[in-house]
Amino acid sequence: MIYSPNRKGRKMFVRRHSITRRWLVNSLGIVTAVLVVVEILALVLAQGYYTSAVKQYLSSKIDSITSTLSRYQSPLGYRQEVRNIIERFDEKERYELMAINSSGKTTLTSSGFQPADWMFSDDYEEANKSPDKECWRTIRLESGEKVMSCTAVLTAATNEYSAIRILTSLDAVDSQIMRIAIILSAVLLGIILLIILSGLYFIRSIVIPVRQMCDTAKKYADGNFSQRIDSVSEDEIGELADSINYMATELENSDKMKNEFISSVSHELRTPLTAIKGWGETVLEMPDDRETVEKAMKVITGETERLSNMVEELLDFSRIQDGRLTLQKKVCDILAELGDAVLIYTERAKDLGIDLRYYEPEMLPFVYGDRSRLRQVFINIIDNAIKYSNPGGTVSIEAYEQKGEIVVLVSDTGVGIAQADLPKIKNKFYKANHTRRGSGIGLAVANEIIEMHEGSLIINSELGKGTTVMITLPIYNEQNVK
């Protein structure tokens, strides 16, 4: 599969080569070629084996005859014995025995038929020239029959009987080789058929799920994350299907959170903008009413600051996503930043009927960090504690040193967080409670800032009873500062 842009600029899937075709061309082609080569080698070896067996038998026969004739000294007895051996040859049904004179002409045969002159025109001369006085030949007769012959020069030769020739047909050998070839070809075809069936079954077990994954991926590309892939096996394909399903679930959740985030941010932006617009119109209608103008300007200033904080929060989140968020670290007093954050929300908590309690220690060690970013974290956590608390509730803030770390605890008696939402509460765009204002990225930004200070942000909560946020930061140590 490859991607190709269509006329509208969207990317489409274009199939180049299927797995089945590549397997047939590559793997099956190689296996077939190897099997064919093996069959050819087997036939060559079988041909050599049977031919060698025939040659060995002919050699033993002619050795036996020449050995028998070598015992005769008188020409008369020698000629008589040659005639007797040839005329009484008991294997004439399978073999032909011939006597050759000193001119190379056939003078006597066991079958009584003379061979054609072209068949053995010069084998006698070749046998005389050979060191072992033998000449082996394999020829094909005019009838199409293939024969093997051996011509051996006799030691007690006479002009009439100077050599012995024995020959046999190789048709039986060729028939046997043909039978072996048929058997091997049948076995080869069976193996190829078995490979094809098992291979196609195996490929189908891969191709079908892969095609389903491809079709599902296209739907994911179009923004439809509801489709899921059926888990068809326990192997890597099944694991891949489970991973894609998990990815789809996460994408669906992220898409849902993104949409909720857009809706939440839109609402958060609309509320202050509506207030600013409304009070602005009021000022235009009543420019001489000083009390109304002051009240309007106070509301406009507050809502403008709220908008500014939201925009800054969004910018910080964007910087975190792009890896552009940097810290201006230096030695700082953590109590000063925490105290400023508490002071910012003291009046607001009082107006909302929430008891804000700050248990300030006399002294704490310094930390090495970005003062403004740490104040931003404290402001975000305290704001959340007040935001999710009901009138009459309590928000407690304390700080202390423990095991070489500064610990800041912010506790409230508010609505709390369900246990199912706790693992995801620090994820981007995630909001456990949609009834309260907020964009859902404040905790993600705060957690990232604390981690960049090599600290931790831990949230413990119980639905309906409240939430406790524990922030830990390492104490400043010159040896630990990079």
pLDDT, tens digit, 9 for 90 and up, residues 407-419: 999 999 998 888 8
Please give the mean pLDDT across all residues of the chain: 82
Nearest alpha carbon to residue 167 among 104, 86, 47, 103: 86
User: Is pLDDT at 393 greater than 90 in this prediction?
Assistant: yes
**Is the pLDDT higher at 94 or at 74?**
94
Determine the average pLDDT of the residues in 321-349.
Answer: 86
CATH number of 326-480: 3.30.565.10
- Are 85-169 and 236-320 the same fold in CATH? no
- Cα 4 to chain center, whole Å? 23
User: Is pLDDT at 15 greater than 80 in this prediction?
Assistant: no
CA distance 284 to 174: 116
CATH topology of domain 85-169: Beta-Lactamase (3.30.450)
pLDDT at 481: 60
Determine the average pLDDT of the residues in 184-190.
Answer: 92
The residue extents of the domains of the chain are 16-69+173-219, 85-169, 236-320, 326-480
User: Is pLDDT at 431 greater than 90 in this prediction?
Assistant: no
User: Is pLDDT at 40 greater than 90 in this prediction?
Assistant: yes
Half-sphere exposure for 362 (CA within 13 Å, toward CB): 0
Beta bridge partners of 408: 399, 471
Positive or negative torsion for Cα 166, 171, 172, 178:
positive
* 131: phi then psi, degrees, rounded to nearest 5: -60, -35
User: Is pLDDT at 389 greater than 80 in this prediction?
Assistant: yes
Is the model's pTM score more than 0.75? no
372 neighbors 388 (Cβ within 8 angstroms): no
DSSP 364: -
Determine the average pLDDT of the residues in 98-124.
Answer: 81
CATH topology of domain 236-320: Helix Hairpins (1.10.287)
- % of the chain at pLDDT higher than 70: 88
Determine the average pLDDT of the residues in 221-244.
Answer: 78
CA distances from 409 to 300, 350, 380, 470, 474 (A): 33, 20, 13, 5, 15
